[in-house]
Every structure is written in structure tokens, then in C-alpha cells.
């Protein structure tokens, strides 16, 4: 049983004593006033993007592709959950990101520094992905300068353009 003892008149600072099942739970001070005084308070502003736009979860990426050729260059917006934006394959890109997202791993992680990579060139294409995915900030750069980088790029297709069709890899 929770019991509240209030030792203050309306509009004054007083002590609150909370007693639960015979034990003292908390002692503190509070301003006590009539309930009508709180009804006049302005509502708190909502500042979280997901609360301002309940249709968006916060999974939003901006993808900038350069030197890819074949009409792939440009900057694209991608929203997932629900899908949207001007990315050429919103559904495919969101599905690929969902498959690559695992607890404890970073879907956008760079190739580890001590990795042995094949000496092959996949073309001059570069990409920069920024935004938020799965509640985490994203700032990842991609190129096709060796076999590891090509593999990293290809794992993100169709978020990034499939350049294997262009004859590079």
C-alpha cells in the first residue's frame, strides 16, 4: 500500500513522504498547487524526428555515388521502415540492408586493416553513405580499389549500383 503524506498548503514548497508497506521509500520536496494550475501548462515540444513524423523510423541514408558511369552517379535519399526517397530501388536497397543488419555487427564497417586482398581494380567509382541506420549514425566511404573493397561494395548492392553489369569486375 502506498501512502503519501503532504505537509504543504497549495502553492507552497513542502515535503513529500512516500511510505510503502510500512517502509520509507523517498523523501523530497515539491511545489504543491491546485490541479487547475497544471492544466494551463504548455505542452512539451516533440523534438525527436520519429515522434514528429510517426511514419518514419529514423532509418534514413543519403548515398552519393561518383565516377560509376552508366547513369549511376548522383545523390540519392533512402528511407526504410517504411520505404521512400528517390533511390532507384528503394525496396531492394531496404531489403539488402535488412539482411546485412545483425546484432553486434556494423553493416557499413570498413575492411579490417590486416586483411589480405587481391590486387585487382574494380574501376574509379566511389560512394559515400551517411545518415542513420538501426539507430546508429552512418558515415561510410566505398571504392573499388582492390578485391576486398570490391567485395564490400558488392555486398551493399542494390544500395550501391551493381557495377558487375558494367563490365568492371
H or E segment at 85? Answer: strand 84-85
First CA to last CA across the chain, in angstroms?
71
Three cell numbers written together for 49: 524526428
Q: Does residue 2 have a pLDDT over 70?
A: no
Q: Does residue 3 have a pLDDT over 70?
A: no
Q: Does residue 162 have a pLDDT over 90?
A: yes
Task: Identify whether the C-beta of residue 63 lies closer than 8 Å to the C-beta of residue 129.
Answer: yes
Distance (Å, whole) CA 110 – CA 106: 9
Q: Does residue 6 have a pLDDT over 90?
A: no
Q: What is the pLDDT of residues 98-149, one digit of tens each?
A: 988 887 788 899 999 999 999 999 999 999 999 999 989 999 999 999 999 9
Confidence of residue 9 (pLDDT cuts 50, 70, 90): very low
For position 37, what pLDDT does the model report? 45
Q: Does residue 25 have a pLDDT over 80?
A: no
Q: What is the pLDDT of residues 46-86, one digit of tens each?
A: 333 444 454 555 799 999 999 999 899 999 999 999 999 99
Distance (Å, whole) CA 133 – CA 164: 26
Tell which residue, 151, 160, 147, has the closest CA to residue 96: 160
Pick the CATH number of 49-166 from 3.40.630, 3.30.1560, 3.30.350, 3.40.1350: 3.30.350
**Would you list the domain boundaries of the chain?**
2-35, 49-166
Distance (Å, whole) CA 28 – CA 168: 69
For position 16, what pLDDT does the model report? 43
Position with higher pLDDT, 31 vs 134: 134
If you average pLDDT over every residue of the chain, what do you get? 76
Amino acid at each position: 500500500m502506498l501512502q503519501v503524506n503532504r505537509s504543504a498548503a497549495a502553492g507552497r514548497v513542502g515535503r513529500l513522504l512516500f511510505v510503502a508497506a510500512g517502509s520509507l521509500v523517498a523523501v523530497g520536496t515539491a511545489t504543491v498547487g491546485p490541479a487547475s494550475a497544471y492544466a494551463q501548462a504548455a505542452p512539451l515540444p516533440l523534438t525527436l524526428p520519429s515522434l514528429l513524423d510517426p511514419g518514419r523510423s529514423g532509418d534514413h541514408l543519403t548515398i552519393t555515388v561518383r565516377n560509376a558511369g552508366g547513369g549511376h552517379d548522383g545523390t540519392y535519399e533512402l528511407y526504410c521502415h517504411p520505404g521512400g526517397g528517390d533511390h532507384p530501388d528503394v525496396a531492394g536497397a531496404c531489403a539488402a540492408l535488412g539482411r546485412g543488419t545483425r546484432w553486434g555487427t556494423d553493416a557499413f564497417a570498413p575492411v579490417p586493416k590486416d586483411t589480405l586482398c587481391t590486387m585487382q581494380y574494380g574501376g574509379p567509382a566511389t560512394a559515400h553513405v551517411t545518415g542513420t541506420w538501426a539507430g546508429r549514425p552512418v558515415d561510410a566511404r566505398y571504392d573499388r580499389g582492390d578485391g576486398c573493397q570490391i567485395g564490400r561494395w558488392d555486398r551493399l548492392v542494390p544500395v550501391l549500383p551493381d557495377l558487375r553489369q558494367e563490365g568492371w569486375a
